[in-house]
Homo-oligomer: A and B are copies of this chain.
């Protein structure tokens, strides 16, 4: 009843061949767009390579010309999301210089993420499946570390006397807790989700500001 999704080795799935011509670059975009639409409709697990090819208007062989396997497509989409959000997060935290500013920026960041998770089925699907796929897990971990570093930088400015290593651990943990809180929040009802996100915010800020 099935196809399987490759062996369990978590190789970073890089394009089998980078599209060098204008034509192929456009086709790869179409493939990713098709995959994105299908994931939004049915989830990445139910996404079929044949459907992706058909919807992108390319042959199945062309798909495999640029993506070594199914997971690579999901990975490529995930990478785009992380790149975008990192830029956003970096900007939001760049010029925070006092506790109040951190509270403000962090709170907004959480809201943005929460809304994004609620509104973006693709993102939701991809980050949900994160744990099952080694390459995705590593991407998310790297992303999380990068984001935590932005937060660490702020903390070091706000609390110069504190142990830097401890600040790093705190920032990383708080950030990961945030991602977990989001996943939890979207998997329960909206009201409870809102409450949980609010509770997370309080908890995180208390920890970050060491109050």
Q: Which residues of A contact B (CB under 8 A)?
A: 1-8, 42-43, 45-46, 128-132, 137, 141, 166, 169-170, 172-174, 176-177, 179-181, 183-184, 187-188, 192, 195-196, 199-200, 203, 206-207
CA–CA, A166 and B199, complex, Å? 9
* Smallest CB gap from A204: residue in B: B203
CA–CA, A67 and B42, complex, Å? 25
**Would you mind naming 30 contact pairs between A and B with Cβ atoms under 8 Å apart?**
A1-B4, A2-B2, A2-B3, A2-B4, A3-B4, A4-B4, A5-B45, A7-B46, A8-B42, A8-B46, A45-B132, A128-B131, A128-B132, A130-B131, A131-B183, A132-B132, A141-B187, A169-B192, A169-B195, A169-B196, A173-B181, A173-B184, A173-B196, A173-B200, A174-B203, A176-B181, A180-B180, A203-B203, A203-B207, A206-B207
**Residues of chain B within 8 A of A174, CB atoms compared:** 203
Copies of this protein in the complex:
2
Which residue in B5, B184, B195 is a CB contact (below 8 Å) of A2? B5
CA–CA, A141 and B183, complex, Å? 12
Given A141-B188, A203-B203, 15 further pairs, Cβ under 8 A: A1-B3, A1-B6, A2-B2, A2-B3, A2-B4, A3-B3, A8-B46, A45-B132, A128-B132, A169-B192, A170-B199, A176-B184, A177-B203, A180-B180, A206-B206
* Smallest CB gap from A195: residue in B: B169
